[in-house]
Amino acid sequence: MSKIARRKFIQLSAAAAAGCLVHPGREAIAQDLPHLTEDDPMASAMKYTHDASTVDPATRANPAPDQICANCALLQGDDGDEWRPCQIFVGKLVNSKGWCSVWAPKA
């Protein structure tokens, strides 16, 4: 292996190792986000609740049954986690059993 090829190999290896170290850190940061509160002004505007079973289905704009954050297209993060990021409430975690008026079915 030439000196230049060895140097390039070392640089690429270091970059790959750095990428492996960054990913777990990003996961940890997501789980460290604060939980969205129901009295948050934006949560109130979107009728967010931690417990979707408290919402009268007749009041929903979208009549699809079984609407909870866990089956919403806008929920992010890992299946099974109780609190997960949501594309609507950036920087906060929503409850997987929650609901808001922006609920959208997964494709």
Q: Which residues bind ligand SF4 (CB under 6 A)?
A: 48, 69, 72, 74-75, 86, 88, 94, 98-100, 102-103
Sign of the torsion formed by the C-alpha atoms of 47, 50, 55 and 61: positive
Closest CB to ligand SF4 among residues 9, 105: 105
The encoded tokens of residue 107 equal: 């494709």
The torsion defined by the Cα of 91, 95, 98 and 104, in degrees rounded to 10, comes to 50
The encoded tokens of residue 22 equal: 């960054």
CB of 27 to ligand SF4, least distance (A): 19
CB of 68 to ligand SF4, least distance (A): 7
Interior angle at CA 76, CA 67 and CA 94, nearest 5: 60
Closest CB to ligand SF4 among residues 72, 83: 72
CB of 25 to ligand SF4, least distance (A): 24
Closest CB to ligand SF4 among residues 83, 103: 103
